[in-house]
Structure 1
Amino acid sequence: MVPDIISIGEPMVEFCATSKGRLSQVPLFKRGWGGDTSNFAVAVARLGGSVGYLCRLGDDEFGRSFLELWRKEGVDASRVIIEKGAFTGVYFISLMEGGKHDFTYYRKDSAASHFSPEDLDESYVKKAKVLHSSGISLAVSQSLREAVLKAVSLCKASGGIFSFDPNVRLRLWPIGTARAIIEYAFRQADIILSSIEDMELLYGISDPEVATKKLMEMGASIIALKLGAQGCYIRTRDRAFLSEGFKVDVVDTTGAGDAFDGAFLVGYLEGWSLEKISAFANAVGALTTTGFGAVAPIPSREEALRFMESQKSLGDKR
């Protein structure tokens, strides 16, 4: 059976510093899993959604660790391709003050970058309700970009929708190229899950109302603009509102936006109100910042709902 949501992109093994400081100063790292679209898929599965993942993995221990992760989490990896002679990308996270982080990547010519339109199982993609991807997936390589855009076309032509997180990374491509290709994706998207930082990088816009109006002009039906600790700003064609964030003790913000995206899509497919969807996504994103790494701290559905109830019992002080 084809899952409701299909995510496509680049998985990467994560090595997260266990203490604060520059990469050269940290003696120990904890291995985990990363890659924005894989983080998203794990979040969807952990929150009770139905999700599959499309990519290439290296024929190595790191690639096999991803297959085991997805199997344990309930992510359908039946269309993942193992490429002999290729490697699975890795990255290192340095932790700075205030939960901020710095990344060092080893991804050039990885297996994921070799994924191409010919790797797509078209019947699989056509049956999905949602196709999700990101600006990183569009930036990694031309062949992966072409595969993502073909998958979007297949899914939408069959009645599905496209969910897109621009996740701007200017070390992957120059701003002019990034803006042009991301804008093309914005115009294909039905749901845009951006951050205010993305809008600042792309357009120099730091006002949520202005940012969401600009994104709405691209043609999407729902905009969710992530504002970090402040929550998110939601806009549809009919209305706009701020959904306030939850206060938590931040340890590491890695992957919080990806977990937010997963929670948003889970709530959307269950037919929840935008108020409930955005509050749920805010809660999941907040809880993901309370531990180290991108995947380990993502809460279960029950943990997220219990956290939301506990906040209500405290007078909903966020």
Structure 2
Amino acid sequence: MSLDVICLGELLIDFVSTNKDVPLTESTGFLKAPGGAPANVAAGIARLGGTAGFIGKVGRDPFGYYLKSVLQHLKVDTSYLAFDEEARTTLSFVAQKPDGDRECMFYRHPGADMRLMPEEIVESYICNATIFHYGSISLGSESSKAATFRALGYARAHNLLISYDPNLRMDLWRDSEQAYKEINEGFGYADFVKISEEEYPFITGCQDVEACGRYILDRGAKLVVVTLGKNGCYYTTGQSSGYVAGYAAQVVDTTGAGDAFVAAMLHNFAHCMKAGVPHLEQGLPQMLLFANAAGSLATTRIGAIPSLPTKEEVEALIV
């Protein structure tokens, strides 16, 4: 089976507060929504009309079965989504606070996603993809970290384009020192890195987007994109750099917006690579405009996977 993108990492349930502009302590109801950053990217690619597979682990519980059915309904390949017999599916509770920041609390002690094993990574599956995508959350436990790096080794050996989202969730790490060390270690394989303006000061120690871009390029990436919310994004390849404007939106929930952005970028990368386009850099501004539109649309609905836009919706916003 040939796939545009294979994503590895967490698949979980977000319980999103139904109350607007209140913290979790004051939320009176929650809406169940499937999520997990790498799974969101796989789902986003499928929604845009691409082909995607997902590698990860959920609990053998009602939430785990539900999540598998969601991905299958979207036509994401789940051949290597495993079920854990001991740990339960990870849950996350999310609220949008009055200051606009998102509050998130995880139930994961441990979650099934932390128990993905290296021996569950199959080389023949990865080598048939065009792009491999991973995040930093799977680097937080010994088992899933080993599985991630085995997959990355296969992806590099077979010359896949490798994409990394250093998704910062401080409460999933033992302490800030571990978070900094493990997330930075994740840069070592990446060709493309997407990082947000909220994340980069801690992860890179840089105080502006240009310095952040140079920091990550120095670690081996060929393209770095810093998302700037409603202000769009900044990109750099070392040879060229610039800003691409964003799109205004009536924001309901920002969960998954960054993943919608990544999905849009990888969808276009895969299309260009399969078409034999020699230099992806030439079409970057248009790809980033498309990705900004996808991220903007994702903020207008509740939840991560439920908010991911179709290609037609993105194109309608750009026109």
Normalising by structure 1, report the TM-score: 0.93
Whole-angstrom CA distance in 2 between matches of 1:90 and 1:64: 14
Counterpart for residue 316 of structure 1: none
Counterpart for residue 289 of structure 1: 299
Whole-angstrom CA distance in 2 between matches of 1:198 and 1:164: 14
Shift of 1:170: 2.0
Shift of 1:99: 4.2
Whole-angstrom CA distance in 2 between matches of 1:27 and 1:178: 32
Residues 191-210 of structure 1 aligned to structure 2 (within 5 Å):
191-210=192-211
Residues 5-24 of structure 1 aligned to structure 2 (within 5 Å):
5-20=5-20, 21-24=22-25
Shift of 1:98: 5.3
SS at match of 2:129: coil
* Contact kept in structure 1, 2:41 and 2:263, CA below 8 Å: yes
* Contact kept in structure 2, 1:52 and 1:77, CA below 8 Å: yes
Residues 118-197 of structure 1 aligned to structure 2 (within 5 Å):
118-139=119-140, 141-173=141-173, 174-197=175-198
1:57 counterpart letter in structure 2: V
1:281 counterpart letter in structure 2: A
Q: Deviations over 1:141-160 (max 9, x none)?
A: 11101111110110111111
Residues 39-54 of structure 1 aligned to structure 2 (within 5 Å):
39-54=40-55
Q: Matched residue pairs, number? A: 308
Give the alignment's Cα RMSD to 1 decimal: 1.4
Whole-angstrom CA distance in 2 between matches of 1:110 and 1:93: 17
Residues 99-110 of structure 1 aligned to structure 2 (within 5 Å):
99-110=100-111
Residues 4-83 of structure 1 aligned to structure 2 (within 5 Å):
4-20=4-20, 21-83=22-84
Structure 2 CA distance for partners of 1:279 and 1:111, relative to 1, 3 Å: same
Counterpart for residue 314 of structure 1: none
200-209 vs 210-219, greater mean Cα deviation: 200-209
Normalising by structure 2, report the TM-score: 0.93
SS at match of 2:307: coil
Counterpart for residue 279 of structure 1: 289
What 5-or-longer segments of structure 2 have no aligned partner? 273-279
1:100 counterpart letter in structure 2: D
Counterpart for residue 241 of structure 2: 240
Identity %: 33
Whole-angstrom CA distance in 2 between matches of 1:27 and 1:172: 24
2:171 counterpart letter in structure 1: R
2:124 counterpart letter in structure 1: S
Whole-angstrom CA distance in 2 between matches of 1:218 and 1:165: 14
Q: Deviations over 1:160-184 (max 9, x none)?
A: 1210011122222223222222222
Shift of 1:109: 1.6
Residues 254-269 of structure 1 aligned to structure 2 (within 5 Å):
254-269=255-270
Shift of 1:64: 0.8
SS at match of 1:30: strand
What 5-or-longer segments of structure 1 have no aligned partner? 310-318
